[in-house]
Amino acid sequence: KAHAKYSHIHLDMAFIHIPLPEFAEKTNLVKGGKWIEGVTAPSFNSHFYDALAEEGIVAVGAGHDHVNDYCALRPPPPAQLIVRDAEDATPAPSIHHDTRPRLGPWMCYAGASGFGGYAGYGGFHRRVRVWEVDTNAGRIVTWKRVECCGENTKKRIDELVIVDGGRVVAPE
């Protein structure tokens, strides 16, 4: 009986240390954080991002650039833009019957979580990206927790829905 409730929505994610060259594209839709320092991606583009997209990866998490903590989505052609209205109660169509073009994957920086590296640009406090994955709803929400100071340590910083109904969604 429990298996009958299985949604068949797979939320495939990838985690890498060095960001992909696509993290540095100035045309990206940047949300859920700040782009503070340069992206230190390889100068040679192996098109690994394209391979991830072809395999249906919905999010790529990266580190390395300690004070970047944003999420970015490559812009789709105008006909592909799918924005879910917060008040839209209509459930997303089943991933198996949805013929809309796919977006993504989202590219999200982790923020600086360790104590061995650099940080501190303009009061930047160490932080860690949290990924809330709900496989039944096919939903991924991400935000950051900060190490320091006052009430911010109790908040979800820059909360962002990046996948809903098993599909990558554009920022609102």
Would you call 22 helix, strand, or coil by DSSP? Answer: helix
**pLDDT score at 133:** 97
- 3-state SS, residue 14: strand
Which tokens in the block code for residue 97? 């019957």
Q: Which residues contact 117 (CB under 8 A, 6 or more apart)?
A: 66
Mean predicted lDDT score pLDDT of the chain: 84
Q: Measure the CA–CA gap between 164 and 60, rounded to whole angstroms.
A: 16
pLDDT tens, 40-51?
999 999 999 999
| Cβ burial, residue 84 (10 Å; 0-12/13-18/19+) | middle
Q: What is the pLDDT of residues 112-170, one digit of tens each?
A: 776 656 666 666 778 899 999 999 999 999 999 988 888 888 999 999 999 999 999 99
Q: Which pLDDT score is estimated for 98?
A: 56
pLDDT over 90 at 11, yes or no: yes
Biggest distance spanned by C-alpha atoms of the chain: 54
- Say if pTM beats, i.e. exceeds, 0.85: no
pLDDT digits (tens, 9 = 90+) for 46-101: 999 999 999 999 999 999 887 899 999 998 766 544 555 555 555 554 444 556 56
109: left (phi over 0), alpha (psi -120 to 50) or beta: beta
